[in-house]
Amino acid sequence: MPDVKFFYGDNLPLEMHKARIVQKLELKPIGQRAQAMAGAGYNTFLLNNSDVFIDMLTDSGTNAMSDRQQAAMMWADDAYAGSETFVRLEKMLKRVFGKSYFLPAHQGRACESIISQVFVEEGSVVPMNYHFTTSKAHIVLNGGRIEELLIEEGLDVESEHPFKGNMDVQKLESLICELGADRIPFVRLEAGTNLIGGQPFSLENLRAVGRLCRAHGILIVMDASLLADNLYLIKRREAACAEMTIEEITRAVAEECDIIYFSARKLGCARGGGMCLDDGDLYLKMRELIPLYEGFLTYGGMSVREMEALTVGLEETMDEDMIGQGPEFTAYMVDALKDRGVPVVVPAGGLGCHVDARRFLDHIPQEESPAGALAAAFFIVSGVRGMERGTMSEQRDADGSENPAHMELLRLALPRRVFTVSQLGYVMDRLQWLFDNRDLVGGLRFVEEPEILRFFFGKLEPVSDWPERLAAKYSEDFRDSL
C-alpha cells in the first residue's frame, strides 16, 4: 500500500485539485472519425482538435494551469527589457536549481539549437542515455552525431527495472577512452526519458555519470523537460532518497549538471523554456545567441504572461501533493492495462501510458508502421488522439534507408491534471476492444514524406481497406453510426 495520501480503495489515484473551469468535449460518430483520420493522412498530428474527443497527443503546452498561475498572468510586467516578471522567474529558477545564471528561450528545442550551435562541431560525438527527436536533429544539423548509452533494460519493454532511463556508465567510460574527451562536447542526460516511455534515471546513476565526466573534464547537460516525473519516481523508487523532500532531490540532481535546459511547455505547466548554469564563461558564449534567435535577454521569445505562469508553475512542481499527480495517474492506467493483458511499457514512467504496438499488432511488419497504424486505428474507434513513437518518428539514414526504431509505441500522454479517472476508464475500455479486434488493423505506408522530422507533416495511406472494416465492426458492436 502506498504511503502517500492521494490514493483510496484499491490503489486508485485521487485528484488533489478541483475543476473550476471546464471545456466541453464532443464525441463524433465513428463515420466522421474515420473520415477525419483519412483526411489527416493517417497522421494524428494532422487532425483538427474539433474532431478529437480526448487529446492524448502530448503533454506539451496542454497541462492544466492552476488558479494561482492564471492569477499571476494578470500581474505580468510588460517591458521589453528588465521586466519585473523576468526577475521573479530568474529568482524562482535560482531557488529551484541553485544555478547562478538563467537564459530564456521560446521553448525546449530552442535551447537545443543554442546548445548545439555553441558546443557541437563537425566530428563531435554526444553520448546520451537516449535521444529525443528535436535534440538529435539539432546535434546532427551542427555536424555531430549521437551515441545512445542506455542500460540494456531500457529498451526491453517488459523489463520491470525501476530506472530504465539510466546510462550505462561502463559504456560511457569505454567511449571516452576510445574517442578521447576532446571529441565529446558534453554528455546529455534526459530526465523522464521520453521516447522509451517516460522512464527515469536514478540519482545514484546520475552521480556515477557525474564523477566520470568531472574526471575527464566533460560537461553534463540535462534535458529537464520531464524532470518533474523523474524527481517523483526517484523519491518513490530510490530507497536512499525516500526521506528527502522534492526540493532536496531537485538540488541534488542539479548539482551534478553543468547546464540544465527545459521545455516549460512541460516543466512548470506553462509555455517557453530556458537554460540554467553556473559557469560565467559558458553563460557569455550562449548568451550571444539569445537576442539573435529568441529575443531580448529578459524574455527570450516568451510572453510576460507565460513567464509569470511558469514562475508559479515551478513553485507548484515542488509541491509534494502535486508532483505525483502525473506519474500516479499514469501508473494507474499502465497497471490496469497490464492486468487486462494489453501490452504496455512497464513499469509506468512519467508522461503517459505507452502501448507496445509491436506486441499489440504483431502481424504488422515494422516497415508498415505498427505504431502509426495503432494510433490511427485507436483514434477511429475511440476519438482518442495518441502519438506514434516508433520508426515514423525516426529519420532515414543519409543513404535513404529506413532507420527502424528500437521500439514501436503508441503514446497516450496524460497532460497533468487534465483528465479524470473515468475518462481514463473510457480510454482503457476502447483500447481493450481494439486489442480484442486487433486482427482487423492493417499497416500504413508513406505517400508524402518530408526529409526532416517527417512525423510532424508526413501523410500515409492504409495498405488495404482495413479502416473501413474496422469502423464497420465497431459500428456494429457499439451501435455507433457510420
Q: Which is nearer to ligand PLP, 69 or 263 (CB)?
A: 263
Nearer to ligand PLP, 350 or 462 (CB): 350
Identify the residue whose cell numbers are 557541437: 120
Name the β-bridge partners of 128: 148, 188
Which residues would be at the binding site for ligand PLP (CB under 6 A)?
60, 107-109, 132, 134-135, 190, 194, 223, 225-226, 263, 265-266, 273
SS3 435: helix
Angle at 300 between CA 299 and CA 303, to 5 degrees: 50
Is 455 one of the catalytic residues? yes
**Catalytic residue chosen out of the listed positions 305, 358, 389, 454:** 389
Distance CA 65, CA 231 (A): 20
Specify the residue, 221 or 318, whose C-beta has the smaller distance to ligand PLP: 221
User: Cβ of residue 67: shortest distance to ligand PLP, in angstroms?
Assistant: 24
Q: One of 133, 293, 359, 445 is an active-site residue; which one?
A: 133
Catalytic annotation present for 329: no
Could you tell me the smallest distance in angstroms from the CB atom of residue 266 to ligand PLP?
A: 6
Which residue's CB is nearer to ligand PLP, number 187 or number 428? 187
State in angstroms the smallest separation of the CB of 60 from ligand PLP. 5
Contact 170, 151 (CB under 8 A): no
Q: Does residue 478 contact residue 383 with C-beta atoms inside 8 Å?
A: no
Instruction: Assess whether 266 carries a catalytic annotation.
Output: yes
Q: What's the min distance (Å) between Cβ of 136 and ligand PLP?
A: 10
Cα Rg, the chain, nearest whole Å: 22
- CA-to-CA distance for 271 and 362, rounded, in angstroms? 38
Alpha helices, DSSP H, located in 98-161: 108-119, 133-141
The angle subtended at Cα 116 by Cα 110 and Cα 120, nearest 5°, is: 175
Nearer to ligand PLP, 116 or 134 (CB): 134
Omega before 347 within 30 of 0, i.e. cis: yes
Find the residue with minimal CB distance to ligand PLP: 108
Is position 389 annotated as part of the catalytic site? Answer: yes
Question: With respect to ligand PLP, which residue has the nearer C-beta, 210 or 273?
Answer: 273
Q: Which of 193, 265, 263 lies closest to 230 in space, CA to CA? A: 193
Here the cell at position 190 is 534526459
CA distance 336 to 431: 12
Active-site annotation holder among 109, 136, 265, 266: 266
CB of 112 to ligand PLP, least distance (A): 6
Nearer to ligand PLP, 45 or 446 (CB): 45
* Nearest CA-CA partner of 199 in 346, 389, 413, 410: 346
**Whole-angstrom distance, CA of residue 360 vs CA of residue 86:** 47
Q: Which of 3, 20, 80, 397 is catalytic?
A: 80
Identified catalytic residue from 55, 223, 229, 258: 223
C-alpha cell at 171: 559504456
Terminal CA-to-CA distance of the chain, rounded, Å?
A: 45
Among 186, 232, 299, 455, the one annotated catalytic:
455
Q: Is 45 a catalytic residue?
A: no
Least distance in angstroms from the C-beta of 381 to ligand PLP: 27
Smallest separation, CB 465 to ligand PLP (Å): 36
Going by C-alpha positions, the residue among 162, 217, 151 that lies closest to residue 187 is 217
Find the shortest distance in angstroms from Cβ 108 to ligand PLP. Answer: 2
Which residue number, 199 or 225, has a Cβ lying nearer to ligand PLP? 225
Q: For residue 386, which of 422, 348, 357, 350 has the smallest C-alpha distance? A: 357
Show which residues are catalytic: 80, 132-133, 223, 266, 389, 455
